Amino acid sequence: MPNSHIVSSFDEDLQKLRDKITDMAELVADQFSDAECALTTKDLKLAAQVKEKDNYVDQMEQEIEKTAIEMIAIRSPMADDLREIISAIKISNALERIGDYAKNLSKRVSVLSEVGDYTVSSSIISQMISIINVMNEDVIDAYIHKSPEKAISVWTRDLAVDNLYNSLFRELLTYMMENPEYITAATHLLFVAKNVERAGDHITNIAELIYYIVEGTPLEMVRPKGDNSSETNVEFSG
């Protein structure tokens, strides 16, 4: 029988790791919500704050990875515990990428603040971000409560984000061909939309990891994927 004190101490360390993941996820969710607000209101000050928060997100990822590696080295966890610790590293990596996408959104605010009306495109982007924000909230809840059902629910919603992105991509591509003077603004809007779509992919990855933590096996369902913009051989990032 393992020493009860050692077991208790390990459980405390594992809970601290979970708490760090939760804190990081909540910070990233706030960062994304603030990026949406900055875009909508063209608030340069708020956009700058989103970019500043990214440093904290990066630090949290490093801290979680360090903590997890130390737990593996010192505690030699097995089975369920080892699976959760390794998954925590992967989750923090995905959260860091979502934070990067929020930062990228905020970088576009200064340019888009000088652009005229882009109501239709803005409306679609707002719909995408609204879905992402709810997915963020629900994936945090799924992690806290170890709910594979909620994780699957989050996982399936990524298709709606992809479909909106495809709609926006076609709309802006057509508009740019018909109105060359709109190319700069449309390109930035495509950058924004692609970053939102990629954030959805990473939230979906987190949902899969939560399912794996709880069930002990990978999610075997085929991931719903609707982004076909790659057929145009154009890549939007940054």
**CA distances from residue 172 to 8, 68, 125, 182, 236 in whole angstroms, order as listed:** 57, 44, 12, 9, 13
* pLDDT score, position 183: 84
Mean pLDDT of 21-34: 95
Q: What is the mean pLDDT of residues 7-23?
A: 91
Q: Is the model more confident about 233 or about 101?
A: 101
Distance separating alpha carbons of residues 197 and 129, to the nearest angstrom: 9
Nearest to 64 by CA among 18, 109, 29, 104: 18
What percent of the chain stands above pLDDT 90?
66
Please tell me the distance from the alpha carbon of residue 129 to that of residue 133, in angstroms, as a whole number. 6
- Spatial distance between the Cα atoms of 175 and 196, rounded to a whole number of angstroms: 21
pLDDT bin (cut points 50, 70, 90) of residue 119 is: low
Average pLDDT on 13-39 reads 94
Q: What local confidence, expressed as pLDDT, does residue 142 receive?
A: 97
pLDDT tens for each residue of 156-172: 999 999 999 999 999 88
Quick check: helix, strand or coil at residue 1? coil
In terms of C-beta density within 10 A (0-12 exposed, 13-18 middle, 19 or more buried), how is residue 136 classed? buried
Q: What is the Rg, in whole angstroms, of the alpha carbon atoms belonging to the chain?
A: 20
In whole angstroms, what is the distance from residue 14 CA to residue 85 CA? 8
Residue 27 confidence (pLDDT) above 50: yes
| pLDDT the model gives residue 40 | 85
With bands split at pLDDT 50, 70 and 90, how would you rate the model's confidence at 114?
Answer: confident
How far apart CA 179 and CA 47 sit, in angstroms, is 29
Asked if residues 154 and 130 have their Cβ atoms less than 8 Å apart, the reply is no
What is the pLDDT at residue 116?
59
CA dihedral 175, 173, 46, 113 (to 10 degrees): -30
- Identify the band that residue 236 occupies on the pLDDT scale cut at 50, 70 and 90: very low
- Under DSSP, the state recorded for 224 is P
Question: To the nearest whole number, what is the mean pLDDT of the chain?
Answer: 88
Q: Is residue 232 pLDDT above 90, yes or no?
A: no
| Unique residue bearing structure tokens 């409560």 | 145
pLDDT at 26: 95
pLDDT band at 224 (very low <50, low <70, confident <90, very high): low
CATH architecture of 4-232: Up-down Bundle (1.20)
Longest CA–CA separation in the chain, Å: 74
- Predicted confidence band of residue 35 (pLDDT cuts 50, 70, 90): very high
Residue 5 pLDDT greater than 90, yes or no: no
Residue 159: is it exposed, middle or buried by C-beta count within 10 angstroms (0-12/13-18/19+)?
Answer: middle
